[in-house]
Amino acid sequence: MEENSKRIVIVGGGLVGALCAYYFGKRGYRIDLYEYREDIRRSKSPRGRSINLSLSNRGRLALRDVGLEEEVLKSAVPMVGRRVHFQNGKVQSILYDEFTNQCIYSVGRNFLNKFLLTAIESLPNVLLHFDCKLIDVNLKTDELTFYRCSSQDYLRVTGDLIIGADGAFSCLRRSLQSTPLFDCSQTYIDHGYIELRISPEQSHLMKPNHLHIWPRGSMMLIALPNIDKSWTVTLFMPLSEFDRLVYKEMVLEFFKQVFPDVIPLIGTDQLVNDVIRTKPSVLVSIKCSKLHYRDKFLIVGDAAHAIVPFYGQGMNAGFEDCTVLNNLLDKYSEDFGRVLEEFTRLRVSDAHAIADLAMYNYLEMRDLVTRPSYYLKKWFDKQMHRVVEDKWQPLYYSVTFTHTKYEVCLQQRDWQSKVLKRSLLLFGIVALSFSALTFINIT
């Protein structure tokens, strides 16, 4: 690692900010990472949301590039497919990859964040600053102002490059929105979520190495495995439905009607307590028209493209930001101006595409997966992929197990849908014609 005199300031010590700091640190830059919360490794209670993360090929590549993949996978649980629990009691497994037998990995958010922060500390040119909340961005002087709650004072810093990885409600992004031609849309969906838990003692009731899904039309419940044999359960449904679950009787009646087989998995008392005491979290999607300003400011991860969690690609897309950024630094000999412009050109269209795909996958997981047409399409995808592997990749496969641009994945889905509709129409015409000819011959 060669020492570099340039200073990089990274705002946000979450997953993407931490990995980004490690990437730049490995390149020899002087890194200052600022996080507004306390050090998660020294916190007595977990912070923020803890939805388990699905680590797939894009995220794995980012970790592999800096030599961290192997250690992360040691604390992750492989998932080979979905385990669908229908309302009639039927259960069915659907493999993620029937072609090359690849899998995705369930990994705990807090574990991964702690791991990345510890990895950063091994680099002598990286400094971590906790309890520092960004409160002002001066785009004229390139100066950031942080407030340190513990000492109740202010810290003013600048750098050769300032990267915002400070989440969906990014302070840095809000400042960039005041610059010319920087458009940003924020869309909430009317669904929220709460987290529940299946204890290790009940794990024998769950088929291992699967993501379990209970699809119910307008709502769904999912369960992801943890390394300690417990399962993290997440209930997604309209916020209006959560508003109804205020008493024990209401909660039990709801689960008896909608998710009856979940009650013994979690336990009646634990289920009621967790549902009543937990306020549902909201889900938001962020789309930006630019991801940089001049050669000085850049946003990545959720700050640049927050998406709903239904494709398991939020973290993977953020980690892929780091891969793309690192490759561009190599390509343009660390010319920040050219790197940032090209980063925006490459990632904006992909960010918009995966945001749309994530919304589509929620519909698929909670509703379409219960319909015969879903399995017909799966069968058609499978046959076409076997016949013309290079030209036909199922959508989930291309998003999860390849590094195809998200934008191209979306375009392929639209093209494949047209082919499927035309094929079914042609099949119907042929079948009708054959029936007609048979009838004529008989008569």
Q: Which residue has the higher pLDDT, 242 or 149?
A: 242
Tell me, yes or no, whether 41 and 140 share the same domain.
Answer: yes
Asked if residue 97 lies in contact with residue 401, where contact means CB atoms within 8 angstroms, the answer is yes
29 part of a folded domain: yes
CATH code, domain carrying 324: 3.50.50.60
Give me the pLDDT at residue 368, please. Answer: 60
Question: Is residue 431's pLDDT more than 90?
Answer: no
Tell me if the pTM is above 0.85: yes
Q: Is residue 101 part of a domain?
A: no
In a domain, 102, yes or no: no
* Residue after which a domain boundary falls, among 362, 397, 418: 362
In a domain, 96, yes or no: no
Query: Do 174 and 197 sit in the same domain of this protein?
Result: no
pLDDT at 305 over 70: yes
pLDDT at 427 over 80: no
424 and 398 both lie in a single domain: yes
- According to the model, what pLDDT value does residue 304 have? 98
Q: Identify whether residues 390 and 423 lie together within a single domain.
A: yes
One domain, residues 193 and 181: no
Is pLDDT of 246 > 60?
yes
Number of helices (H), then strands (E), belonging to the chain: the values are: 15, 19
Residues 6+ apart with CB under 8 A from 389: 99
Residues of the domain holding 274: 187-282
Is 82 a member of any domain?
A: no
292 and 407 in a single domain? The answer is no
Domain identity same for 421 and 394 = yes
The Cα–Cα gap between 384 and 397 comes to: 13
Q: Say whether both 216 and 315 belong to one domain.
A: no
Q: What is the pLDDT of residue 369?
A: 62
User: Which of 81-90, 143-152, 389-398 has the least mean pLDDT?
Assistant: 389-398
Rounded CA-CA distance 299/293 in Å is 9
pLDDT band at 153 (very low <50, low <70, confident <90, very high): very high
Instruction: Concatenate the DSSP letters of all residues of 68-98 into one string.
Output: -HHHHHHT-EEE-EEEEE-TTS-EEEEES-T
Residue 85: inside a domain:
no
Domain count along the chain: 3
Q: Are residues 20 and 150 in the same domain?
A: yes
DSSP single-letter state for residue 390: T
Which pLDDT does position 435 carry in this prediction?
A: 60
**Residue 417: per-residue pLDDT:** 74
Q: Quick one: what percent of the chain has pLDDT higher than 70?
A: 87
Res 45: pLDDT: 63
Domain boundary among 310, 329, 362: 362
Cα–Cα distances in angstroms (integers) from residue 365 to residues 83, 213, 219, 351, in the given order: 11, 8, 9, 21
Mean pLDDT of 425-439: 58
Of the two residues 373 and 69, the one the predictor is more confident about is 69
- Does any domain span residue 303? yes
308-334 pLDDT tens trace: 988 889 999 999 999 999 999 999 999
Share the mean pLDDT of the chain.
Answer: 90
Residue 439, pLDDT > 60, answer no
**pLDDT band at residue 222, thresholds of 50, 70 and 90?**
very high
Do 180 and 199 share a domain, yes or no?
no
Q: Over the stretch 382-410, which tens digit does the pLDDT of each residue have?
A: 777 676 667 778 888 899 999 999 999 98
Tell me if 415 is assigned to some domain.
yes
Distances (CA, A) of 18 to 4, 31, 33, 76, 287: 19, 11, 8, 19, 22
Residues 204 and 250 in one domain: yes
> Of residues 439 and 70, which shows the higher confidence score?
70
Cα distances from 32 to residues 15, 52, 134, 163, in angstroms, run 16, 28, 13, 10
On whether the CB atoms of residues 256 and 249 are closer than 8 A, the answer is no
Rounded to an integer, the average pLDDT of 55-59 is 97
Cβ within 8 Å of residue 330, ≥6 positions away = none
Q: Which of 290, 50, 24 is nearest to 176 (CA)?
A: 290
Taking only the tens place, the pLDDT of each residue in 101-135 is 999 999 999 999 999 999 999 999 999 999 999 99
In the prediction, which pLDDT does 392 show?
75
Domain boundary, last residue among 342, 362, 382: 362
Residue 433 — pLDDT band, cuts 50, 70, 90?
low
Rounded (to 5) percent helix, strand, coil in the chain: 45, 25, 30
Question: Confidence class of residue 414 from pLDDT cuts 50, 70 and 90?
Answer: confident
Alpha helices of 367-401 — where are they, by DSSP H? Answer: 372-387, 395-401
pLDDT higher than threshold 60 for residue 50: no
pLDDT in tens, 7-49: 999 999 999 999 999 999 999 999 999 999 999 999 876 554 5
pLDDT classification of 440: cutoffs 50, 70, 90: low
The average pLDDT across 72-94 equals 95
Pairing of strands 161-164, 281-288: unpaired
Q: What is the pLDDT of residue 400?
A: 95
146 and 63 belong to one structural domain: yes
Among 401, 439, 403, CA closest to 103: 401
